[in-house]
Each structure stands twice: as C-alpha cells, then as structure tokens.
C-alpha cells in the first residue's frame, strides 16, 4: 500500500534549525529562548496556535510584524516558524488592499463615513490623515486579524484531526488485510 508522506516530515525539511539560528549574531541575545523545544514542535496545538498568532499579526497596521508574532509565539510556547512565516501574507503587494479593507470594516463598525477620496500612498498624506483613518484602521485590523487567525486555527485543527483519523483508518485496514492474509495462508507470517 502507498504510504503518504507525513506532513510533519515534509514541513521539518523546511524549518530552520534552532542551533543554526543561534549562530546568527543578530539572534544571539535571544538564543536561549530559541532553544525552547516547544517553539519547534509540530503538533496540533502548537501549529494551530502559531497560525492564530501569525494571521493576527499579519493584519496589524505596523512595520516589523514578525517581531510581535515571534514574541507572542515565545510567550505562548507555540510554533515559532509558523507564526513568523504567516505574517508574510501581508507583504508590499497585499498590504494596501488588506489595510484598505480593514479600514472599511473599522469605519463600518464605528459608523463613520469612509474617507476614500484623494487617497495618496505616501507618508505626508498618511500623517496628515492619521487622525481620521487611524482608529477605524486599528479597530478593523484587530477584528480582521482575530477572525482570520481564529478561522486559520480552526482549519489547522480540523485538517490535522482529519489527517490523524485517515492514518488510523489506513493502519486499521492494513491490520485487517494482514489478518485476512494470515488466515488464508497460515505459513505466510
């Protein structure tokens, strides 16, 4: 029978090694925290919580979103690489539409008029209009981040559970097949 590659094995190929990371000069001050085994475990709890953190932080309207994702992953002892990697869903291409959507959601929740006319993506316009758009953007970003994070966490938990159940069924079928073959041919054991 075909034995599918376990997702854990496949994912581990792409994960950085904690010992290798501690060799980087920039990461030396936090290397003792990076050695924590819980940050590298690939189990349902760790990966799903890392997904929640990474997706939540991806919606934060701030630069260096990986930093709060890493801090939260370390504090909550969940999968650090998953949390940091998912932050990259918001990148220079996806950030403007994500932030505009979050602003629209926040403005709708706060019952504010959307100030979309004359939008210029530069620091002068942003600093001049931050008073008008800042609070709706923050509210919308937190809500969208929570929803995306919770949905991602749920999807990871459900798909992980489905994978475990399918592996159990496969092993049960293999045992039945071996038992059936051993009853047919007792000398084939």
Residue 139 backbone class (left: φ over 0; alpha: ψ -120 to 50; beta: rest): alpha
Give the pLDDT of residue 131.
75
Give the pLDDT of residue 18.
60
Q: Tokens representing 159?
A: 């798909």
Give the pLDDT of residue 35.
60
Q: How many residues does the chain have?
A: 189
Nearest Cα to 141, choosing from 109, 113, 115, 116?
109
Give the pLDDT of residue 6.
53
Nearest Cα to 31, choosing from 43, 20, 16?
20
Greatest CA separation for the chain: 85
Please say whether the beta carbons of 89 and 57 come within 8 A.
Answer: no
Residue pLDDT, tens place only, 83-114: 999 999 998 898 888 988 998 899 899 988 77
Nearest Cα to 156, choosing from 79, 12, 14, 51?
51
Please say whether the beta carbons of 69 and 57 come within 8 A.
Answer: yes
Give the pLDDT of residue 68.
93
CA dihedral 64, 17, 160, 84 (to 10 degrees): 0
Question: Mean pLDDT by 10-residue block, N- to C-terminus, for the chain (189 residues)?
Answer: 53 61 54 65 88 95 89 90 92 88 90 70 71 86 96 94 90 88 70
Give the pLDDT of residue 153.
95
- Total-model pTM: 0.74
């Amino acid at each position: 029978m075909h034995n599918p590659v376990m997702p854990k094995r496949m994912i581990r190929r792409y994960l950085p090694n904690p010992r290798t990371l501690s060799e980087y000069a920039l990461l030396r001050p936090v290397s003792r925290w990076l050695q924590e085994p819980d940050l590298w475990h690939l189990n349902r709890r760790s990966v799903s919580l890392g997904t929640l953190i990474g997706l939540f932080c991806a919606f934060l309207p701030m630069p260096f979103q990986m930093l709060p994702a890493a801090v939260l992953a370390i504090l909550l002892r969940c999968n650090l690489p998953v949390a940091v990697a998912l932050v990259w869903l918001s990148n220079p291409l996806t950030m403007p539409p994500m932030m505009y959507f979050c602003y629209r959601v926040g403005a709708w929740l706060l019952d504010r008029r959307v100030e979309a006319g004359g939008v210029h993506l530069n620091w002068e316009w942003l600093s001049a209009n931050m008073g008008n758009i800042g609070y709706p953007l923050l509210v919308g970003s937190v809500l969208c981040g929570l929803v995306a994070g919770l949905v991602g966490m749920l999807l990871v938990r459900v798909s992980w559970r489905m994978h475990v159940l399918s592996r159990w069924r496969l092993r049960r079928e293999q045992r039945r097949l071996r038992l059936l073959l051993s009853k047919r041919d007792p000398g084939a054991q």
